[in-house]
């Protein structure tokens, strides 16, 4: 079918890893020979009886994976030769009403909040005759409610050589919560959280802690922590719907309290996980310490499947903050706006040296800066105003128009609920990003600001959108024994860049946009911030030298541990340790390993 993808042969071959027969297919693309996972057009694809047996094993929680908008279509093509109908007009209206509702989407069995990597082939519509296919969604999903359900899914995927996706909330910019004809294990129902007055496990820590299920989301965990007596806090993200115990922690995890309490993974005391061999293991300072180290920032869905975590909790802190805007209501003069942005961003080191976290949006396109908010943990309104005085003095001296709003709260939780805004899901963009260090900002601040302004509109026909996080985990936790890139301990600003798309572009155009993001936008960021790095959870899937860029000096050890804990590649997410020889070929469909 694809002009550059030639099917060579269908065969069965034996893989000695785990002593299991590995049925697969050999394909060739761009002159490279690959051994692929099993797909529905292969003889090795599980039979109906196999799927029925799996469903019996998991107690009936195996479901057909259907896109959330399938109910708006009269027919859903589930493979080349079969289709089904789940059309329901009332359910379709509910989908349309909630299409921009993050919580609703994260509660769906398979929805991905960033739909570009689903291939956008089944969207809400008022016309039921519009075509709907699974696109790059999986074929079946296990709605796991017990750890045994997860184990059964892992065992099935391993023995049948299927692509396996671990889906917590689908809150993911890089398409890692979806995969063509995969078996999905949904861990979102693991919602328990138990708070401990004193941790008595391995290591030197004896303070307060919590045991948290992998499916608990950020805002809910903040809420549960605040309900304790006395209230406590955890290090979570700024977005309320992030599945805290999934990819967030396993990628490192930054958030509003990171500058005083470190990255999310810095606070982890223990993991309960299931290995790709289907074994239940504990990973902490005493048991499986190498796995413990790797799971703390070594990459999502990479070494084992986590279903429970034990984490440090911290005392609640008074928090104050400020919201600032510079946009078209203040000026349409691009030079004035750019000067304002440069003043703001060049003070990044100043903000983090006072323990602040700053969330900002730049764009889309030129002339919009929305800082919402500056976060001042352990500060009152007077202290925030004192810290931000250099910013407003410089803006006023340069005659940059803006508006601002400042408030103080007795606790971080009350601040978070009032001052943070929900994101809008179901946007289409190609994502990149860069973390800039103190050195980058102090020595090349103007160049960094110019590169970010360029990223907000990198071409006359191309809009960009930047999501910024001014944060330094090294302020509160200067040293940490985990897999997170050491550059994070000297970070000052981490910015996600987006090349905005419609979502209906051809495959060729998508590839062009990806190349543009990597080479043009990413190239400008790398040039402006050569001392920086990138972040595995929110970066470019085509980042050059990604091993060094994502993990730095930690990568050789991570690669060694991946070969130990998952030598056959049962788990896969692009640009994570040990995936150098793997690729998704055949127009984004088949996961294969170089032969």
24-65 residue pLDDT tens: 889 999 999 999 999 999 999 999 999 999 999 999 999 999
What's the confidence (pLDDT) of residue 81?
A: 75
Can you tell me the distance from the alpha carbon of 132 to that of 148, in angstroms, rounded to the nearest whole number? 33
What's the confidence (pLDDT) of residue 80?
A: 67
Low-confidence ranges of the chain (pLDDT < 50): 1-20, 22
Can you tell me the distance from the alpha carbon of 105 to that of 537, in angstroms, rounded to the nearest whole number? 19
What are the structural domains of the chain?
A: 48-186 (3.30.43.10), 193-315 (3.30.465.10), 319-544 (3.40.462.20)
Determine contact, residues 465/139, Cβ cutoff 8 Å: no
What's the confidence (pLDDT) of residue 8?
A: 35
Can you tell me the distance from the alpha carbon of 381 to that of 209, in angstroms, rounded to the nearest whole number? 30
5: tokens are: 């993808």
Burial of 41 (0-12, 13-18, 19+ CB in 10 A): middle
What's the confidence (pLDDT) of residue 6?
A: 34
Can you tell me the distance from the alpha carbon of 524 to that of 518, in angstroms, rounded to the nearest whole number? 9
Can you tell me the distance from the alpha carbon of 549 to that of 329, in angstroms, rounded to the nearest whole number? 39
Point out which residues pair with 83 in neighbouring strands: 77
Q: At what angle do helices 48-57 and 147-160 cross, to 10 degrees?
A: 160
Burial of 296 (0-12, 13-18, 19+ CB in 10 A): buried
Alpha helices by DSSP H, 80-170:
89-98, 102-107, 147-160
356: tokens are: 């602040």
478-499 burial, b at 16+ Cβ within 10 Å, e below that, comes to eebebbbbebbbbbbbbbbbbb
Point out which residues pair with 450 in neighbouring strands: none
């Amino acid at each position: 079918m694809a002009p550059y993808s030639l099917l060579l042969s269908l065969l069965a071959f034996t893989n000695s890893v785990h002593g299991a027969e590995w049925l697969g297919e050999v394909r060739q693309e761009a002159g490279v020979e690959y051994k692929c996972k099993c797909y529905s057009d292969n003889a090795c694809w599980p039979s109906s009886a196999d799927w029925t047996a799996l469903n019996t094993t998991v107690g009936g929680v195996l479901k057909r994976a259907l896109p959330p908008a399938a109910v708006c279509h009269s027919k859903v093509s589930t493979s080349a030769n079969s289709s089904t109908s789940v059309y329901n007009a009332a359910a379709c209206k509910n989908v349309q009403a909630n299409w921009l509702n993050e919580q609703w989407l994260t509660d769906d069995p398979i929805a991905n909040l960033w739909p570009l990597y689903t291939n956008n082939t089944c969207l809400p519509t008022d016309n039921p005759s519009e075509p709907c296919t699974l696109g790059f969604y999986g074929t079946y999903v296990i709605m796991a409610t017990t750890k045994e359900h997860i184990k059964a899914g892992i065992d099935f995927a391993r023995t049948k050589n299927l692509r396996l996706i671990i889906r917590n909330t689908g809150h993911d910019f890089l398409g890692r919560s979806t995969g063509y004809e995969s078996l999905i294990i949904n861990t979102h129902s693991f919602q328990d959280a138990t708070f401990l007055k004193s941790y008595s496990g391995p290591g030197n820590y004896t303070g307060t802690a919590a045991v948290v299920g992998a499916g608990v989301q950020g805002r809910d965990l903040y809420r549960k922590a605040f309900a304790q007596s006395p209230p406590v806090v955890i290090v979570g993200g700024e977005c309320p719907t992030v599945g805290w115990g999934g990819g967030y922690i396993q990628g490192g995890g930054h958030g509003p309290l990171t500058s005083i309490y470190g990255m999310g993974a810095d606070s982890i005391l223990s993991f309960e996980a299931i290995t790709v061999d289907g074994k239940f293991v504990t990973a902490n300072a005493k048991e499986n310490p190498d796995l413990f180290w790797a799971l703390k920032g070594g990459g999502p869905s990479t070494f084992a499947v986590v279903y429970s975590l034990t984490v440090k909790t911290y005392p609640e802190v008074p928090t104050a903050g400020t919201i600032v805007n510079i946009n078209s209501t203040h000026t349409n003069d691009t030079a004035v706006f750019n000067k304002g942005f440069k003043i703001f961003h060049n003070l990044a080191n100043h903000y983090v040296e006072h323990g602040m976290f700053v969330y900002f949006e730049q764009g889309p396109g030129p002339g919009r800066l929305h800082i919402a908010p500056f976060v001042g943990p352990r500060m009152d309104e007077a202290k925030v105003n004192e810290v931000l005085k250099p910013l407003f003095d410089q803006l006023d001296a340069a005659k940059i128009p803006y508006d601002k709003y400042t408030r103080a709260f007795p606790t971080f939780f009350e601040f978070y609920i009032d001052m943070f805004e929900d994101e809008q899901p179901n946007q289409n963009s190609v994502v990149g990003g860069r973390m800039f260090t103190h050195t980058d900002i102090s020595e090349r601040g103007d160049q960094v600001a110019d590169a970010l302004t360029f990223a907000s509109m990198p071409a006359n026909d191309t809009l960009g959108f930047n999501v910024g996080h001014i944060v330094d985990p090294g302020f509160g936790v200067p040293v940490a024994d985990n897999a997170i890139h050491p550059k994070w301990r000297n970070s000052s600003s981490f910015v996600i860049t987006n090349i905005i798309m419609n979502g209906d572009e051809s495959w060729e155009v998508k590839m062009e946009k990806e190349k543009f993001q990597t080479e043009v936008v990413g190239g400008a960021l790398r040039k402006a911030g050569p001392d920086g790095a990138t972040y595995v959870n929110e970066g470019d899937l085509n980042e050059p030298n990604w091993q060094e860029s994502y993990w730095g000096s930690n990568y050789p050890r991570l690669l060694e541990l991946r070969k130990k804990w998952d030598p056959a590649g049962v788990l896969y997410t692009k640009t994570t340790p040990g995936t150098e020889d793997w690729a998704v070929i055949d127009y984004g469909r088949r996961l294969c390993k170089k032969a």
